[in-house]
Chains A and B, each alone.
Chain A
Amino acid sequence: MTEQMKSNGITRQEWMGLLARAPEDAMMPLWDRVADRPSFKWLRSPEIGGVMVRGRAGAIGAPFNLGEMTVTRCSLALEDGTVGHGYVQGRSKPKAEAAALIDALMQTEAADRLTELVITPLKTQMQGKRKARAAKAAATKVEFFTLVRGED
């Protein structure tokens, strides 16, 4: 089961990561545009928990435990047996459910529609935000210029 599924030029790993990181208020309005929701049954209903985040000593050395973060997860199966998993940051059960459903649908014929309605616009939004922050950081980069150079 380790092979990576790819759908519409995006891997399962990428879309799951995108859904995990997406702010709820960005993702849910896009998900609301998906009209016909499939029926499903829970394999694991949404639960809120913690994940211990690790760092490395000196950024590259031995791992250490930095502290936890909140994560909500769930798993479900569509009627045709397709399994979807939702792992999202924070404590929103509706967001975890949406993520699991999107994950399942991305493995079906609905992938095109989901990509168009949810995945692509979400990716664009998040890249835009990230880029705007990077642009503000870039504006605070110091440009050194030499005032006086002492010469003998």
Chain B
Amino acid sequence: MYVAVKGGEKAIENAHAWLAEERRGDTDIADLSIAQIREQLSLAVNRVMAEGSLYDPDLAALAIKQARGDLIEAIFLIRAYRTTLPRFGYSNPVKTGDMACDRRVSATFKDAPGGQVLGPTFDYTHRLLDFKLAADGEVAPAPEGDARQEPTPHITSFLKGEGVIQDEPLSEDAPGDLTREPMEFPSNRPLRLQALTRGDEGFVLGMAYSTQRGYARNHAFVGELRIGKVAVEMDIPELGFAIEIGEVELTECETVNQFQGSKTEPPQFTRGYGLVFGQSERKAISMALVDRALRWKELGEDNLGAAAQDEEFVLSHADNIQATGFLEHIKLPHYVDFQSELELVRKLRREAEERITPKEAAE
């Protein structure tokens, strides 16, 4: 039964007003600008762009401000805005080989052409709180070296030359788009990659970690991790040629996975792939591990029954907006549903009591 009730408008209005006031906080403290969030909380901005699935740093910063720093709420705002945009078209696939790399490391080859470029990483920090930042945020400019002009080749291209890594066949098939057509199972790799790149970082990390701990272990090395800007090119019908319509910062992770061979494939290295908006390397590595785990079928591996191998499980639960929408809706009024449950429990108790009571009377 569904019963519409009215009421609460005033309460809702007042709740919104108080929310706005709480968001602003103490007015003796300076208001936070969008530019400050974009520049100084850039990794939060990156996460909102990746999971909101819309690259626009200013919008992501605004969403973070509006959501009081609740990143899932901010992602929700971006997803909602995204649906209002007319879609002009689809870009040509980005060429990550041409990336202007801020960071590029390989765990497999020390002396790869292009070298090990650490970039602005947390990796070698001591994770000690820096109390100087509390007093004053001024920093000296970072040192400069001899800028590399030429593109940095992908590590996997060397392995490919030797033929010891599984090939990644080029295709121009238009991929499915889960923002246009609902996900159906079994899915395919392009759709899985789309679901993973916009999936919740925590969920994808947890899934990836489960493979490392032995639930469908796939022995991953980070063949390469690179972060930097890539131009986005699109064919413009009225021009008759493609132009660059902008550039995006991306994190790309290619894993090289040990592989003994299977019924259908010879022993060779296999690949997992992660590509995420912004500087998001935890997410990119996680994505690559989960991508690799989900490829068991096409590589002729056994289904070990692990969660990370189950595409329906992974893809159906990776989206934090779907998840939070369904989860949080249970706090909204369910008065009628609950009344019927209450009636049922009372009835069952009455019946149970009636079964017991006659016996007691006979004793």
Q: What is A's interface to B at a CB cutoff of 8 Å?
A: 1-2, 4, 12-13, 16-17, 20-21, 47-71, 73, 75, 85, 87-91, 130-142, 144
Count: A-B pairs, CB below 8 Å = 234
Q: In the bound complex, how far is the Cα of B116 from the Cα of A111, in angstroms?
A: 43
Q: Mark B32-65, 1 if CB is under 8 A from A, else 0.
A: 0000000000000000011001111011000000
CB distance from A113 to the nearest CB of B (A): 23
A-B complex: 7 closest residue pairs judged by Cβ atoms? A89-B246, A138-B145, A17-B244, A58-B168, A61-B168, A134-B147, A135-B144
Could you say which residues of chain B place their CB within 8 Å of the CB of A62? Answer: 169-171, 173, 175, 189-190
CB distance from A1 to the nearest CB of B (A): 5
CB-CB under 8 A for A51 and B89, given A58-B156, A64-B189: yes
Interface residues of B (CB under 8 A from A): 49-50, 53-56, 58-59, 82, 85-94, 96-97, 100-103, 110-111, 115-120, 142-149, 154, 156, 168-179, 189-191, 193-194, 197-198, 231-232, 234, 236, 238-248, 250, 252, 254, 271, 273, 275, 277
A73 and B238 CA atoms in complex are apart in Å by 12
**Bound CA–CA A139/B117 (angstroms):** 8
Known: A59-B254, A60-B170. A54 touches B94 (CB 8 A): yes
A144 vs B246: C-alpha distance in the bound complex, in angstroms? 36
Contact A66 B191, beta carbon cutoff 8 Å: no
Q: Whole-angstrom distance from the CB of A137 to the nearest CB of chain B?
A: 5
Listed A/B pairs (18) with beta-carbon separation below 8 Å: A12-B239, A20-B245, A59-B154, A61-B169, A64-B175, A64-B189, A65-B175, A71-B245, A91-B58, A130-B100, A133-B100, A136-B144, A137-B119, A137-B145, A137-B148, A138-B144, A138-B147, A139-B145
Task: Find the residue from A61, A68, A135 having the highest chain B CB count within 10 A.
Answer: A68
Q: How far is the CA of A68 from the CA of B56 in the complex (A)?
A: 9
A69 — which chain B residues lie within 8 A by C-beta? 54-56, 232, 245-246, 248
B172, B243, B271: the one within 8 Å of A63 (CB): B172
Known: A50-B82, A64-B193. A90 touches B243 (CB 8 A): no
Rounded to whole Å, the gap between the CB of A56 and the closest CB of chain B is 5
Complex Cα–Cα for A141 and B102 (A): 10
* B93 and A21 form a contact (CB under 8 A): no
Among the interface residues A75, A137, A141, which one has the most CB atoms of the partner chain B within 10 A?
A137
B103 to chain A: which residues have CB within 8 Å? 137, 140
